[in-house]
């Protein structure tokens, strides 16, 4: 229906464990995240009416009170432009998202945190959010500076590039500059690091596979990547000093891997400090 619910008993247990940590770490803030890639099939319809928004917000308030959580993170992917499969999107989504955030801010306790996740490519930044209306009402925006078009048009690139290059426009820095230019407060912006990779196959060896044609194969989490995609197995490490991003290439298998590592996450962290951003987060 129009209410937010927890998907299964395992997630309930995880949430309770996180909230319990507040006994040991009193400053810890635990937010419940809503939506996600594939998790917002009915958002466009539910949030299109005042009644739908009110019923949703009432369920959020009830859930936060029940679990003693500190706020909500909205991950609607994505207003206006859509995303997963055939999930509905509408031009009205932009204003409806603003109305949803306003309802949350009015209805939740004043101390409740509200954040939302935002894609970092230009179409989303320009079309999905009314930044001037939304940002005064939220504590943070978690900028999805990963999952960038690293294989757009079948061409390999960095899915978590910090900086743009001649071969790849999309990057964390480009998104930050766009938001800064329209007056989004930098201290409310969180950039993202990726604890997972994109694996692309059928990539020739020119430029060690970077900027070449290929076919997306799979996503591999970092903990598996460092044990299975090693030098001894033919995966050679390369560093793009312009994009500030690593990649792997296996010449024998013709496989290209784009990911974040300790070096690139350190660069992103320093960037967040230098730009006076709100911080950095990761997605796994």
Read off the pLDDT of residues 151-191 as tens digits, 9 standing for 90 and up. Answer: 566 899 999 999 999 889 999 999 999 999 999 999 999 99
Q: What is the per-residue pLDDT for 154?
A: 86
Indicate whether 23 pLDDT > 60. Answer: yes
Backbone angles phi, psi at 262, to 5 degrees: -60, -40
- Spacing of C-alpha 228 from chain mean position: 25
Indicate whether 146 pLDDT > 90. Answer: yes
Q: State the Cα torsion 1-54-67-73 to the nearest 10°.
A: 90
The β-bridge relationship of strands 140-144 and 113-119 is parallel
Q: What is the mean pLDDT of residues 185-201?
A: 97
Distance of alpha carbon 273 from alpha carbon 249, whole angstroms: 31
Q: 117-128 pLDDT, tens per residue?
A: 999 989 999 999
List the beta bridge partners of residue 246: 239
Asked whether 268 and 162 are in contact (CB, 8 A), the reply is yes
pLDDT confidence bin for 56, thresholds 50/70/90: very high
> Looking only at Cα atoms, what is the longest distance across the chain?
59
pTM attached to this predicted model: 0.93
Q: 206-227 pLDDT, tens per residue?
A: 999 999 999 999 999 999 999 9
Q: What is the per-residue pLDDT for 151?
A: 53
């Amino acid at each position: 229906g129009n209410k937010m619910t927890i998907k299964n008993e395992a997630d309930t247990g995880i949430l309770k464990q996180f909230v319990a940590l507040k006994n040991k770490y009193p400053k810890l803030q635990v937010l419940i995240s809503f939506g996600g890639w594939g998790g917002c099939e009915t958002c466009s319809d539910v949030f299109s009416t005042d009644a739908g928004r009110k019923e949703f917000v009432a369920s959020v308030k009830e859930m936060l009170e029940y679990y003693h959580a500190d706020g909500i993170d909205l991950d609607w992917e994505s207003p206006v432009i859509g995303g997963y499969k055939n999930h509905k999107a509408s031009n009205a989504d932009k204003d409806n998202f603003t109305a949803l955030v306003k309802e949350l801010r009015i209805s939740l306790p004043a101390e409740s945190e509200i954040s939302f996740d935002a894609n970092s490519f230009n179409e989303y930044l320009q079309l999905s959010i009314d930044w001037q209306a939304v940002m005064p009402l939220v504590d943070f925006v978690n900028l999805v500076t990963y999952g960038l078009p690293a294989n757009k048009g079948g061409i390999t690139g960095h899915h978590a590039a910090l900086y743009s290059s001649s071969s790849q426009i999309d990057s964390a820095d480009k998104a930050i500059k766009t938001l800064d230019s329209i007056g989004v407060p930098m201290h409310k912006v969180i950039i993202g690091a990726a604890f997972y990779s994109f694996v692309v196959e059928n990539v020739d060896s020119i430029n060690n596979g970077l900027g070449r044609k290929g076919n997306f194969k799979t996503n591999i989490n970092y903990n598996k990547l460092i044990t299975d995609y090693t030098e001894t197995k033919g995966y050679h490490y390369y560093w793009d000093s312009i994009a500030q991003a690593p990649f792997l290439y296996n010449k024998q298998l013709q496989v290209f891997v784009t990911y974040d590592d300790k070096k690139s996450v350190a660069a992103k962290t320093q960037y967040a400090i230098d730009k006076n951003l709100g911080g950095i987060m990761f997605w796994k």
